[in-house]
Amino acid sequence: MLTIAFVIVAAYLLGSIPFAVVASKLFNLPDPRTYGSGNPGATNVLRTGKKAAAVLTLVGDAAKGWLPVYLAIKFFMLSNLLIAVVALVVFLGHLFPIFLRFKGGKGVATALGVLLALNVWIGLSALGTWLLVALVFRLSSLSALAAAVATPLYVFLLGSPLEWLAASLLITVLLVYRHKGNIRNLLDGKESKIGQKKPAA
C-alpha cells in the first residue's frame, strides 16, 4: 500500500511541475500566465516567438505524463486499474498543479505522454490526428479537441484494458472542458492560429 501511495503522490507532484513557467524563466521570457491566452502551455509560450522555449515546454509536459505511467507498468508492475489511476493523477496534476495554486494548463502534451506510455500506437494515433488537423486548419485547440475525441476510439480498437478505456474517456472529458473557452472562440471564428501572437492578457 505504501508503494502504491508513493507512486500516486509522486505522479501528482510530477504532473504539477509547470514546464511552461520553468522554460520561460530559463529563456528570460515573461510568465506565460501574463500574456496571450494566459495558459501555461507550449502553444502560449510559442507566442513569444521563442521556439526553443516552446519545444522545451512541450517535451517537458509530455515527459512528465509519460514517466510515471511507464514506471507503473514496467517497474512497479501495477494492475491495470492502478495504472489507469496513475495516468489520471499525473494528468490532474498538470490541470490542477499545487505549485501554481491549482491553476494549470489544458493538458494536451501531458495527455500525449500518458498515452505513449500506455501504448505507443495509441499515442502516435492521437499525435497523428493532432498533426493532420493542425496542418489543415492551423488551429491548436481544434487539433487538440479532435485528437482527444478520437483517442478513446483508438484505445478501444487497439484492445486495451477497460480500465484504460475508462481513463481515456475521463481525460477526453477533462480536455474538452478545459477548452470550453476555445470552443466558444472557434464557434465565433475568433480562435488564434498556431504561432499567432495575441494581445497581453
What are the tens digits of pLDDT across the range 9-38?
999 999 999 999 999 999 999 999 999 889
**Closest C-alpha among 13, 14, 17, 21 to residue 66:** 14
- What's the mean pLDDT in 145-164? 98
CA distance 139 to 145: 10
**Is residue 200 a part of any domain in this protein?**
no
| Rounded mean pLDDT, 83-100 | 98
DSSP type of residue 99: G
Domain membership of residue 127 (yes or no) is: yes
* Per-residue model confidence (pLDDT) at position 198: 54
In a domain, 143, yes or no: yes
Residue 5 has pLDDT above 70, yes or no: yes
pLDDT at 93: 98
Task: Tell me if the pTM is above 0.85.
Answer: yes
Tell me the CA distances in angstroms from 69 to 5, 15, 142, one per residue in order: 14, 11, 26
Q: Is the pLDDT of residue 196 over 70?
A: no
In a domain, 15, yes or no: yes
Residue 195 lies in a domain: no
Q: Give the model confidence (pLDDT) of 106-154 as tens digits.
A: 999 999 999 999 999 999 999 999 999 999 999 999 999 999 999 999 9
Please report whether residue 128 resides in a domain: yes
Please enumerate in sequence order all residues whose Cβ is within 8 A of that of 132, keeping only pairs 6 or more positions apart, or say none: none
198 part of a folded domain = no
Round to whole Å and give the CA distance between 181 and 64: 25
Q: What is the mean pLDDT of the chain?
A: 94
For residue 133, what is its C-alpha cell?
Answer: 488537423
Domain count of the fold of the chain:
1
Q: How confident is the model at residue 3 (pLDDT cuts 50, 70, 90)?
A: confident
pLDDT at 201 over 50: no
Is 176 domain-assigned? yes
Q: What backbone phi and psi angles, to 5 degrees, belong to 95?
A: -70, -40
Which residue range(s) make up the domain with 98? 2-188
Number of C-beta neighbours around residue 102 at 10 A: 12
Confidence of residue 77 (pLDDT cuts 50, 70, 90): confident
Counting Cα atoms < 13 Å in the Cβ hemisphere of 175 gives 27
- Rounded-to-integer distance, Cα 114 and Cα 168, Å: 10
